[in-house]
Amino acid sequence: MSKLFETISFREIRLRNRIMMSPMCQYSSEDGFANDWHLVHLGSRAVGGVGIVCMEATAVSPEGRITPYDQGIWKDAHIEKLQQITSFVRQLGAVPAIQLAHAGRKASTARPWEGGHQLNPQQGGWQTLAPSAIPFREGEIPPVAMNISDIKKVINDFVAAAKRALEAGFQIIELHGAHGYLMHQFFSPLTNQRSDAYGGSLENRARLLLEVTAAVRTVWPEKYPLFVRLSCTDWVEGGVQVEDCVWLAKQLKQRGVDLIDCSSGGLVPNARIPNTPGYQIPFAEKIRQEAQIATGAVGLITEAHQAEDILQKQQADLIIIARQLLRDPYFPIHAAQQLNVDIPWPNQYLRAKTS
Ligand SMILES: Cc1cc2nc3c(=O)[nH]c(=O)nc-3n(C[C@H](O)[C@H](O)[C@H](O)COP(=O)(O)O)c2cc1C
């Protein structure tokens, strides 16, 4: 029996299989608005059979965007197009999720295909914010260290974004606590040198993420799951280690988080990341075992048998796929064929299933 195609439920949300489309920035929004690119990009993967279609890192405020073209959810006007997308994804049998994000010191950059460098105000950039005034790369304009009212505003922005996500029809929220963005910057001692209640000890460095989580949980319905993506290691000495994340996952679980999406890296440019198939699976396995919380495995998972194996070995509860779904939007349909599982195809495509 294939586990990849077994259903699974989180709270009242039942997934048709264990495959989640990983959030992937498209850098294709104007003023934060989704458009037909997003409808087709996300809709195609729902047609392809994934269980959860997750919208890319979506900025809770304009200054929290990585680039000027990031997807946003900081105003009510963003909701309408998102409603069309979530309703389409749901009609196709997938569950729509959204990743809520703030880029902190990694905001205000050019798109990757335009070089990805920091943008100064003359180039359409803006002043970035972070726990401490330490730039991502040497020579960059440093971020401004956030004061308490900046921190409160970020928490309120996440709450307002969660309310809009609900109105937009999303059924899962993933909070972006990874990849060197704002909440990860607070959590890592390498980027957080504060001496107030948000810096210093592990508890203090986790405070922003834990406060955001608790505040979002109060407005996000009980029946809907809440996921958090973590960077389980910074891959550098003195940075976050997986043991810190085991502790953090336990704290998140107590605040109503249902799954930890176990990623890594992104905090500093000089980290040495192994990049071998399934290199982050050990994090998903350890956090699942030691924090007793569901986990998602992500990173260089590209084949059906590889995905199946991770679930059979109980290393994770969900398989989260990014680039392979860009290469093959029908990965789940193809994976089912390889695992000899019969899954329903969209009626419109049935003639291709049998002959
Ligand atoms: C085009 C692209 C955009 C991405 N954008 C995001 C994002 O918005 N949020 C996020 O947490 N990770 C993002 N990532 C990382 C992926 O979600 C994923 O964690 C990573 O690519 C490893 O998985 P893979 O080997 O299946 O691609 C992005 C990756 C790619 C390739």
Half-sphere exposure of 133 (CA within 13 A, CB side): 6
Cβ neighbours of residue 227 closer than 8 Å, sequence gap 6 or more: 97, 172, 173, 174, 175, 257, 258, 259, 260, 261, 296
Q: Give CA separation, 64 vs 107, 230, 266, in Å.
A: 6, 18, 16
Token pair 């029908």: residue: 330
Cβ neighbours of residue 189 closer than 8 Å, sequence gap 6 or more: 205, 238, 239, 240
pTM above 0.95, yes or no: yes
Write down all domains in the chain, each with its CATH number in brackets: 8-354 (3.20.20.70)
Cβ neighbours of residue 232 closer than 8 Å, sequence gap 6 or more: 240, 242, 245, 262, 263, 264, 280, 283, 287
- Give the 3-state secondary structure of residue 259: strand
Report d(CA 118, CA 144) in Å as an integer. Answer: 15
Q: Render each residue's pLDDT in the chain as its tens digit; 355 residues.
A: 899 999 999 999 999 999 999 999 999 999 999 999 999 999 999 999 999 999 999 999 999 999 999 999 999 999 999 999 999 999 999 999 999 999 999 999 999 999 999 999 999 999 999 999 999 999 999 999 999 999 999 999 999 999 999 999 999 999 999 999 999 999 999 999 999 999 999 999 999 999 999 999 999 999 999 999 999 999 999 999 999 999 999 999 999 999 999 999 999 999 999 989 999 999 999 999 999 999 999 999 999 999 999 999 999 999 999 999 999 999 999 999 999 999 999 999 999 987 6
Does ligand 1 lie within 6 Å of residue 296's CB atom? Answer: no
- Give the 3-state secondary structure of residue 291: helix
Asked if 181 is an active-site residue, the reply is yes
What DSSP designation does 309 have?
H
Does ligand 1 lie within 6 Å of residue 70's CB atom? Answer: no
Tokens of 223: 């029946």
What's the length of the chain? 355
- Give the 3-state secondary structure of residue 61: coil
- Give the 3-state secondary structure of residue 227: strand
Report d(CA 298, CA 264) in Å as an integer. Answer: 9
Ligand 1 center–CA 46 separation, angstroms: 18
Does ligand 1 lie within 6 Å of residue 56's CB atom? Answer: yes
Q: Give CA separation, 213 vs 101, 197, 285, in Å.
A: 12, 17, 23
Q: Give CA separation, 274 vs 4, 167, 182, 188, in Å.
A: 26, 40, 24, 20
> Within its chain, how far is the Cα of 315 from the centroid?
19
| Residue of 181, 198, 224, 330 with catalytic role | 181
Ligand 1 center–CA 98 separation, angstroms: 14
